[in-house]
Chain A
Amino acid sequence: MPKITYITSDNKVHNIDVDNGLTVMEGAVQNDIPGIDADCGGGMACATCHVYVKEDWLNKLPKKEDGEEDMLDMAFEPKQNSRLSCQLIVSEELDGLEVSIPTKQG
């Protein structure tokens, strides 16, 4: 099972096994990782599952679909390595992915 590393804003490192097919957002929510609100439930209709992806992973991830960048305009402190974690589907290729959670979503 792929391992995803979530780093919360207090710098705590959470290594979590996430089932293939779940999103990085769902992996966080189901394992009570604080800081991912996912208000809209994964519909790319809010920006509260915003994460920063570790730089060396940026190009290995699926490209942003239309609309993700628009939602990121509304995220808290978006950066170049910002993604919506609801749009990242976990697979073997994502094993070892590291994401950091912003200090807040709102």
Chain B
Amino acid sequence: MIKIDALIIGAGPTGLFTAHQLKLIGLSCEVVDNLDKIGGQCIELYPDKPIYDIPAVPECTGEELTNNLIKQLEPFDINFHLNERVDEVKSQNDNWFVKTSNDKTFLTPNVIIAGGVGSFEPRKFSPKECEKFENKSIFYSIKDKKIFEGKKITIFGGGDSALDWAVELSKKSKVNLVHRRDEFRGAQSTVNKMNELVKSGKINLFTKYQLINANGSDQVQSIDIKHDDGEIINIKTDYVLGFFGLIMQLGPIANWGLNIDKKTISVDTEKFETNQKGIYAIGDICSYPGKLKLILSGFHEGALAARACFKLARPNEKYRFEFTTTSSNLLKRLGKKD
């Protein structure tokens, strides 16, 4: 069990800056995120898109913003628990007991939810039959590519993941690539490579088709795909892979007894505390009158929530407001002064 002053759920820009604020005022904290990397929506949805409304940063991409925030955290040694989703938050005496999907447990007086719009989960196929084949013959990510060797694989999607895997798996498997339109949004070089493999017969390409059915008892034996003009064809396949990007699901947060309305959590604007003492919500996931879903708002919300955490983590101390320009305490924590 990890005992800390505050646990942050979500490693997006808001969570990262809040970690900075907590460490700066002398509290310990760790961060959990369901994604396999730091950066949240910035890194998952728009790593290359420029952002123009971060104060004092005229222009930066989602990736640059993330890298700068990570750099700002360098003076502090912060533990990140990636690829883990917080599944359980329950009250234990005056603390919160938190458990992740990997069975890691935390005990802390403060839980800060900086969860964006929930956790990213792969978008799945819509036909109902697909559920029973999930993780048997239908996959949304690849852990061990060896199982596909010598098999018939059908890949759906038009982005980099779909194309990269189509190219890679075509070396040792028979690959069908199915996409809902003619254009691909993956990198041009990968699209070119894929087109060459189509020409040389290594990949069978089906465009303007979508999956309508998966057939088989225990394992998939064939699938039906439908063209925009209505034509349906049946393809024999051993495995089906879907790469439709990630969607955000509120997930287990809905079960923690918080006031939730339209996927957002109500908070006050003094501490950004929810209806549960010691649980805060900041960034895109919180709502209050006048809430703006901007990164800069998340920074403000995190700074205030961090101060509120101090009261619960250090009930016998008084929090003293200090500036980084002048406080030797803060400069020491930042590693700028011995």
Contact = CB atoms under 8 A, between A and B. Distances in A.
Interface of A: 29, 37, 39-41, 45-48, 69-70, 73-74, 76-78, 80, 105-106
B49 to A, nearest CB: 8
Query: Chain A binding site: helix, strand, loop or mixed by DSSP?
Result: loop
11 contacts: A41-B284, A46-B45, A46-B248, A70-B159, A73-B157, A73-B159, A73-B244, A73-B245, A74-B123, A106-B123, A106-B247
B118 to A, nearest CB: 8
Contacts of B228: 80
Interface size class of B (residues with CB under 8 A): 20 to 34
Contacts of B15: none
Contacts, number: 50
B136 interface: no
B277 interface: no
Contact of A69 (B41, B181, B293): B181
Given A39-B263, A45-B45, A73 B158 contact: yes
Interface in B218-274: 228, 244-245, 247-249, 262-263
Given A41-B293, A69-B183, A74 B46 contact: no
Contacts of A37: 263
Contacts of A45: 41, 45-46
A70 B180 contact: no
B45 A40 contact: yes
A50 B180 CA distance: 16
Contacts of B46: 45
A73 B248 CA distance: 16
B247 A46 contact: yes
Nearest to A82: B180
A73 B160 CA distance: 12
Contacts of A80: 228
Nearest to A45: B45
Contact of B185 (A40, A41, A70, A105): A70
Given A48-B248, A74-B245, A77-B210, 13 more contacts: A39-B248, A40-B45, A41-B284, A41-B293, A45-B46, A46-B247, A46-B248, A48-B247, A69-B185, A70-B185, A73-B158, A74-B244, A76-B126
B78 interface: no
B249 A106 contact: yes
Contacts of B126: 76-77
B247 A74 contact: yes
Contacts of B41: 40, 45
A77 B212 CA distance: 10
A44 B284 CA distance: 15
Chain B CB within 10 Å, residue with most, of A37, A70, A73: A73
Contacts of A78: 180, 210
A67 to B, nearest CB: 9
B117 interface: yes
| Nearest 7 interchain pairs by C-beta | A74-B245, A70-B185, A39-B117, A41-B293, A45-B45, A74-B244, A77-B126
A7 to B, nearest CB: 19
A41 B179 CA distance: 27
Interface in B185-218: 185, 210
Contacts of B123: 74, 76, 106
Contacts of B157: 73
B115 to A, nearest CB: 12
